[in-house]
Structure 1
Amino acid sequence: METRHLHYFLAVCEELHFTRAAEKLGISQPTLSQQIRVLEGELNMPLFDRIGKKTALTEAGRLLKAYASRMIQDERNAKSAIDELRSDCRGTIRLGVLPSDLDYRLTPLLIQFHADFPNIRLQVFASTQIQQEVLDNKLDIGITLQGPRDILLIEEDLGREPYHFIIRKDHPYASLQTMELSALQHTPLVMYPRHFLGRELVENVCREAGFTLEPIMETGSATSLLQLVRSGIGGTVQPRSLVEHMENSGLSSIPIVNTAPYRELKLIYRGDRYISRATHTFIDCLRKFLRDDLLTARNSENQELEET
């Protein structure tokens, strides 16, 4: 069984269409079909059902897909490990982060990391589907919120952070030192749409308290969300760090007491992927950055509470 046959096979698995898979591979459709027939002949089992224009995996195809994916990943891991023998802390890291963290929190880390390790290429993608993209090998590592566990993923805790009520400085609530969760029922809100992890996290806490949020406006962009708050349309519920990392924001951040929502940040990566030295270097920098960031936030919040 040749490796190229497995690459061809997995391309058809992904597309479930021979012509599209051939275009993706850069070969002709008849050549791809012939190579798949060679693989089927070697295994003496059909791998695809071809029903009209539709293509579907057979039971044998589904079984081979699981093993082929691991074999191809092992091949990539071996090449990556050997490449590192020739490098001096070089390489490429594909990192997935939540849009708000990329816009307002992690940029200082990215700047410092490049200054310290200019030979490492860092590709950063804002996404709300980080876990799936790590599973699909589109990302090497991801920074996301606590979600459903997957046996293929390694998870590392990066810290716990409370959500605050964020409003314009001239809002009637701006003078409050703290507020109850129930007050969210009686003030206009702008929020992320419901399918966003952060929105669902806040909604779950509100539901447990006996009410649901009814925002007057929703947007999937962190930048747009805060612009709407600045314009006076309403307040929002977001991690405190969102405002702390903004200069001259014109916004106030009010702690929510008792049943406050909070988020747990996770670092995730596939357990069967080779983690390069460059990636380990970035992870070490990330841990220190978030540890210092969360400590600064806690000290600031404790100082504010003491002053009140």
Structure 2
Amino acid sequence: MEIRHLHYFMAVCEELHFTKAAEKLGISQPTLSQQIRVLEDELGMPLFDRIGKKIVVTEAGSLLFSYATEMLTTLQNVKDAINDLQELQRGQISVGIMPSDLDYRITQLVIDFHQKFPKVKLMILASIDIMRQVLENEVDIGIGTNVEPDDRLVIIPLRREEYVLTVSQEHPLANQTAITIAELKGLPMVMYPEGFFGREIVEEAVKKHGFQLHSILETSSVTSIMNLVRANIGATVQPYHLIQQINDPTLCSIRISDGAPSRSLSIIYRVDRYVSQATTAFIKQIKEYFKA
């Protein structure tokens, strides 16, 4: 069994169409079909059932797909490790992070890292589904929120952050230093739409007190939320450290004194993923940055 046979097989599994798989691989369809037959002859079992113009993966094919995925991942890790030994300060790192943190939290972190490792290309991707991105190898590492233990992941805790009520300096509550959760009831709010993680954290907290947020405007952009709050359209509830980073004197943060919503931030990556020297250095810098 040759590595190229596994690549051919995986392409057919992904496309479930020999012609499309052949085009993706840059070979002819007859050549691909012949190579798959060679692999089937070697294994002694069919890998695909051909039903007219459609194909389906057999039980043997499903088993091979599972092991081939692991084998090709391991092979890529070997290549990455060898490349990493050749030159420690090169390569590319892709990072998944919440949109709000990307907008306001990590600019200085990225600048500092680039100055230390100018040959390393950073790709910072905003996402509200970071765990899926990491598990599906769409990113190398993620900075996740309230990550549950998972055998497939390495989880490195960073910090826990409390949420605060944030209002315009023109808001009636602007001079208060603290507020109870009960006092949030009926307060006009500008928030993320339902289903967004930041919204759900706050909703879970107020639900324990028997009510829901009174959301009058919703947007998926934290920049828009803060602009609406500045215009005194409504209040919002956001992580305190995020508001600190925005550093806007026209915004007032009010501590929630009893059972404030909170989130925990963690670095996550797959346990079977090779972690390059550059990625290790970036993880170290993330930890130092959030610790500070």
Query: What is the TM-score normalised by the length of structure 1?
Result: 0.88
Distance 1:97 1:278 in 2: 18
Give the Cα separation in 1 of the matches to 2:98 and 2:132: 13
Tell me the residue number matched to 1:216. Answer: 216
**Counterpart position of 1:189:** 189
The amino acid that maps onto 2:6 is L
SS at match of 2:163: strand
What is the correspondence of 1:1-308 to structure 2 with a 5 Å cutoff?
1-51=1-51, 54-248=54-248, 250-292=250-292
1:200 is displaced (CA, Å) by 1.6
Equivalent AA in structure 1 for residue 106 of structure 2: L
Rate the CA distance shift 1:247–1:205 in 2: closer, same or farther, 3 A. Answer: closer
Mapped to 2, the partners of 1:173 and 1:29 lie a distance apart of: 69
Give yes or no for contact 2:153–2:268 (8 Å, CA) kept in 1.
yes
Q: Determine if contact 1:91/1:121 at 8 Å carries over to the other structure.
A: yes
CA–CA distance in 2 between the matches of 1:177 and 1:274?
Answer: 47
Query: CA distance change for structure 1 residues 210 and 83 in 2, over 3 Å: closer, same or farther?
Result: same
Q: TM-score, normalised by structure 2?
A: 0.92
- Structure 1 stretch 61-70 or stretch 157-166: which is displaced more? 61-70
Per the alignment, in what secondary structure is the counterpart of residue 264 of structure 1? strand
Whole-angstrom CA distance in 2 between matches of 1:54 and 1:205: 51
Q: Deviations over 1:20-45 (max 9, x none)?
A: 44443333444434333332332222
C-alpha separation between the residues in 2 aligned to 1:93 and 1:48?
A: 36
Q: State the Cα distance separating 1:196 from its structure 2 match.
A: 1.6
The number of aligned residues is 292
The superposition leaves residues 90-129 of structure 1 with CA deviations (integer Å, 9 ceiling, x where unpaired) of: 2211111111001000111001111121121111111111
Q: Which structure 2 residue ranges, 5 or more long, are not aligned?
A: none
1:178-236, Cα deviation, whole Å (9 max, x unpaired): 11112222211121122222222222222222222241222111212212222222111
> Structure 1 residues 280 and 210 mapped into 2: Cα distance closer, same or farther (>3 Å)?
same
| Greater mean alpha carbon deviation, residues 241-250 or residues 93-102 | 241-250
Deviation at 1:69, TM superposition (A): 1.1
Q: What is the CA–CA distance in structure 2 between the aligned matches of 1:141 and 1:13, rounded to whole Å?
A: 27
Distance 1:119 1:46, change over 3 A: same
What percentage of aligned pairs have identical amino acids? Answer: 52
Question: Secondary structure of the residue that 1:155 maps to in structure 2?
Answer: strand
How far, CA to CA, are the matches of 1:154 and 1:210 in structure 2? 36
Contact 2:88 2:278 survives alignment (8 Å): no
Whole-angstrom distance in 2 between the partners of 1:17 and 1:257? 60
